[in-house]
Chains A and B, each alone.
Chain A
Amino acid sequence: MSPWSALAAQLAGQIPCGYTAAGPACTEPTAAAALALCAYDSARYRRAINRARNWLADGQQTNGSVGPNYQHDEPGWPTSWGLLLEASNSTKQLVHEWLEQPVAPASILVEQPDPPIQSVNPGQPSRPTKPFSVTAALDWITATRGMQMPLQPGVAHNVELVGWSWVTGTHTWLEPTCLAVLALKAHGLGDHARCREGVTVLFDRILPNGGANYGNTIVLGQELRAHIQPTGLLLLALSDEPDREGKRDKSAAWLQAELGTETAAASLSFGLLGLATLSIRPRYALDWLEQAAKRIAERDQSPYRNALLLWTAAVMQSPNYSIWPGRAGGMR
């Protein structure tokens, strides 16, 4: 059994999972784990993937949003993760559990059984009362807006552009905007006005020397530092956009120079996924991923970080794999 297949089996048994091995189940790690299993072997791990989908569906609010965990219905930024999972899960071999009861399709019969479930939320329902509503989630995403602000002296980015915020009623920031743009594109809404506005925001938030951080560029005359994780997400969101000013490619060059064997798991994963969307696959990427997985195994065994690593490793090994099936072009 390869290290990655062992990790996949481990993750399948942990869904729904959290940011830490002992922590509560959360939306983002659960969706990331299911996305990783979709990429790694969707047929083998169908039940675990569906368990994640059911868990997310059960946590979906009537307005379509999904909160960060069962403890909190708000803020709704993890809604994008639910949409990404549904988009990646749209292949026909995947069947909602609530539909599979009468007769199991033939493909299910040949599956290996999942490992025993190690639920971190034993009190939570194992079956959803409703399916995840993609329509409601998309409605929520398209209706949600970061706060506009008056022009600020000393702040270089365009504060009047509206993307998505982490929390309702606050300013537009980079990662929630990347996730929302990705979610809209994954569901074929790349031309939606909100998606186009989000893309404009993202180009505006790229640092002059390439890369991005949480969403500020120049403050009081100083260009801020770029960070790996948001830059990777930025490339994922902008990979199919025209790069008229060369900002995206400059960001990719910055990212290539930053990644290495010591890069932390989440940053490494998003960085490599972002580069992969531009057909850039660093020669030692798989080695870096294995090193990162080894560190996680020795330290906190975070299901979230393991999920990101597995997902990225699967993509690195499958050049034609499309992360977002509904998106024009998909993963190159």
Chain B
Amino acid sequence: MSHSFQPVTNDCWPCGTPKSNTEVRSAECGMRNEGTLQQPHQAPNTKHQPANSSLPPLASLPLPQRPTPNPQSPTIDRRTLLVAGGSALVAAGGYFGVQEVLAERATVFIAKDQRYGGPLARSIQEGLLATGFDTAWVRGKRVLLKPNLVEPTKRCPHMTTHPAVVIAAAEVFRRWGAEVLVGEGPGHVRDTEMALEESTLGEALRSEHIAFADLNHEETGWRENRGNASKLAGFHFPSSIITADLVVSLPKLKTHHWAGMTAALKNMYGTIPGIRYGWPKNVLHYNGIPQTVFDINASLPRTIAIVDAITCMEGDGPIMGSPKQLGLLLIGANPTAVDATAARIMGLRPERISYLQLADQRLGPLAERHIAQRGEPWWPLLNPFVILDDPHLQSLRDKPSVLVT
């Protein structure tokens, strides 16, 4: 988005205590419990430490590299570990060993050679099954698909989620007996009808008789901020979001000239109603982009991610960038893990992207060793995106590559 301010990347933010969101989701969202929630990594008296204070210096971080074989998801649960094996682990490996074992695991599926005219529903179904989606759970449930329609124009179709991906996802969830609707609150345009027509999503939804919810103008309900990274006490979420059993983030994979990248987590800005937060949703910006991206995702109902990375956007994203062909779909129960994998494919370091730093081990894992890869491995698909020649963006990768001025 084209925000007229600098992103808040180094402000103090309250660390807060994790609210066990991940545990709740694991129990309710239809995904098999893949791991555990890590303990708070900062003591309460460090509540106002700078966001990066606990991170190693950038130069000491490793380059993106070929993943080592992923450990299998733990077969014993966290409680068992704590009760039965905790003391032994502490004795053997100390605190960091315990932390490592308790770290949350997630599974991310990648499908390559995808085309908008191809069998996307088959790929999405395969990906959901490979990442543990419980098809029986979703029967009769209300599933809201959330594409990215930030500022659609037919002149720039690579800015927004392609309708074929939305329709394919709807087909899969309908096949499993879910009630599907599509919802979006475009961030830059008030005329939602225009957004639907310019993106061509409107016609696609009508032809498939899929309902659309204008999240910018709906009735809203208040929900507590369960992330507490920003000062916002809570969020007014649209009723379609509140009543959804599952929210599926369906973003377009793009660079973002303030945040670095935008995919599953940043896409959730569109669940916030413009009628209360403005166009753009400036209240969120004033409270910090990384912080509010984290907070919104921590406060939403259960979420999963299906990323349209077929034709992406690089350079001056998320609005003015150039098309970038990847031909990928990324699918996962944990949007943080999906975004981390997407960042690696883009040639970016997920641990350097501020909102992913916040999400790490609170909403999901960033580390490769904690993400089980299904479908295609990410490393052969690495295809660095052009990023702007700006220090805050260039620092997201180790070596500047292709520069755009």
Contact = CB atoms under 8 A, between A and B. Distances in A.
Contacts of B206: 299
A305 B217 CA distance: 13
Given A26-B217, A155-B4, A220-B390, A173 B282 contact: yes
User: Secondary structure of the B side of the interface?
Assistant: loop
Contacts, number: 121
A71 B277 contact: no
A175 B191 contact: no
A20 B214 contact: yes
B317 to A, nearest CB: 11
Interface in A53-83: 68-69, 71-72, 75, 77
A262 B190 contact: no
Interface in B138-176: 151, 153, 155-156
B265 interface: no
Would you call the interface of chain A mostly helix, strand, loop, or mixed?
A: loop
B388 interface: yes
Interface string A201-219: 0000000000001111001
Given A75-B278, A167-B277, A167-B278, A266 B193 contact: yes
A229 B189 contact: yes
Contact of B194 (A19, A224, A229, A299): A229
B276 A75 contact: yes
A153 to B, nearest CB: 8
A24 B219 contact: yes
Given A159-B4, A220-B316, A224-B2, A165 B217 contact: no
A224 B191 contact: no
A190 B248 CA distance: 48
A176 B316 CA distance: 27
Contact of A166 (B3, B153, B191, B279): B279
Given A68-B275, A220-B390, A171 B282 contact: yes
Interface string B280-306: 101101100000000000000000000
Contact of B219 (A71, A152, A176, A263): A71
A166 B319 CA distance: 22
B198 to A, nearest CB: 8
Given A75-B278, A165-B278, A229 B218 contact: no
A118 interface: no
Contacts of A71: 219-220
Contacts of B390: 154, 220
A267 interface: yes
Interface of B: 2-6, 151, 153, 155-156, 188-191, 193-194, 197, 206, 214, 217-220, 236, 257, 274-280, 282-283, 285-286, 316, 319-320, 388, 390, 405
20 contacts: A23-B218, A68-B275, A155-B4, A159-B4, A165-B282, A166-B278, A167-B278, A167-B282, A170-B285, A171-B4, A173-B278, A175-B190, A176-B278, A219-B4, A220-B316, A222-B316, A227-B188, A229-B194, A266-B194, A302-B193
